Amino acid sequence: MNLLAPRNNWYPLTWSRNITRKLARHRILGMDLVVYRSEGGEVIALDDACPHRLAPLSMGKLRGDAIECGYHGMTFGPDGRCIRIPGQPMIPPNARVPSYPLREKMGLIWIWPGDPALADPSLIYNLPQFGEAGWHAAEGDALRIETNYLNLADNLCDPAHVSFVHLSTLGNAASEEIPVEHSFGDRGVLVWRWIRNAPPIPLFGKYGNFSGHVDRWHYYDYIAPCIAVIDFGSADAGAIADPEDRGRGLRIFACHFITPVDDNVCIDHWLHVRNFALDDADVDQRLHADFRIAFNEDKEILERIEEVVQARPNAKTIRLAIDAAPQRMRRIVERIVAGEAEARASA
């Protein structure tokens, strides 16, 4: 597998709500893991292969906080060390499976697949509005997309496609000719544009009660390798003079936390944080229905593109001005991965 993804990074693995005392199998970066909760509620992830015959540990049983292999009963503690071999009192020192650092944040379980000594929890992404007064967070879905995770990241660095792919939810024709602006950092890309004095998009037409034209914005904030947060909203035309005052309008953060499953599959864990209808569970469900339509539109076009790429391996594509941010996004990931490889070589 040649998946281009840093190892020393926090990745979303699954929703916290999904992990219980039942053994569950999850795949990330081409690695199969068995994940479960301890009796005290701690989340544990081990390599999902017994070192004896490679039987998946997820087919075994929990014995307290340890896993008993379902083939020959070898038992492994939460740290991956074997603590029992039936009929054999001597346990070899290499009878162990890898374990991985985990943390829970923003409703998700985050995993560090690289060097455990570098797993600093403060590096997990934090959206300041999540959990703050005046904002409401609503967990969404885990959308499986049959494409490489960087292709989804391309999409999430690209406001231009919204005018054509999401006309029933997130876009309209008013934005077609508005150029995008961008800025670049060491680990991220920010792409944005404002559409002034234009009809509201369908989504904000439902919830904004706007009587006329609006000013609306899209800020696509990508942080390598797997975080994309879209800050978008609307206000009455002329109501917001300073772009930093976006909180005065209807504002949503659509958060996309991407799990690279392997070379050809990724999972988009999405949620939203908004500054209106804070205690309205019906709005949660209505917004999620809209988002499901929009994100499935992305899924459809990305998977169709993947089919064409597989059918035309030697096809040449052209570059447009709107490709500046996605290209920089990929260069950032390549640089991080190359830095890790250099560090391993020097070590």
First to last CA, the chain: 23
Give 254's pLDDT tier (boundaries 50, 70, 90): very high
pLDDT: which is higher, 48 or 180 = 48
CATH code at position 176: 3.90.380.10
**CA dist list (Å): 185 to 151, 180, 329:** 20, 17, 10
d(CA 157, CA 329): 8
d(CA 306, CA 226): 19
Q: Are residues 107 and 152 in the same domain?
A: no
> What average pLDDT does the segment 264-281 reach?
97
The range of the structural domain enclosing residue 52 comes to: 11-121
Give 176's pLDDT tier (boundaries 50, 70, 90): confident
pLDDT (0 to 100) of residue 167: 66
In sequence order, what are the residues at sequence separation of 6 or more whose Cβ sits closer than 8 angstroms to the Cβ of residue 43? Answer: 16, 19, 35, 36, 37, 102, 104, 109
Give 221's pLDDT tier (boundaries 50, 70, 90): very high
Of 70, 92, 121, the last residue of a domain is 121
pLDDT (0 to 100) of residue 292: 95
The rounded mean pLDDT for the chain is 94
pLDDT: which is higher, 156 or 176 = 156
Q: Are residues 137 and 280 in the same domain?
A: yes
Question: At residue 192, does pLDDT exceed 80?
Answer: yes
Give just the sign of the alpha carbon dihedral 294, 296, 302, 307: negative
Residue 227 counted as domain residue: yes
CATH code at position 23: 2.102.10.10
pLDDT (0 to 100) of residue 1: 61
Asked whether 83 and 61 are in contact (CB, 8 A), the reply is: no
Q: Are residues 164 and 304 in the same domain?
A: yes
Of 121, 143, 170, the last residue of a domain is 121
Residue whose tokens read 């499953």:
261
Q: Are residues 156 and 302 in the same domain?
A: yes
User: How many residues in the chain?
Assistant: 347
What residues form DSSP beta bridges with 267?
A: 144, 259
d(CA 57, CA 83): 14
Of 121, 152, 187, the last residue of a domain is 121
pLDDT (0 to 100) of residue 323: 86
| Pairing between β-strand 214-223 and β-strand 188-198 as defined by DSSP bridges | antiparallel
Residue 4 counted as domain residue: no
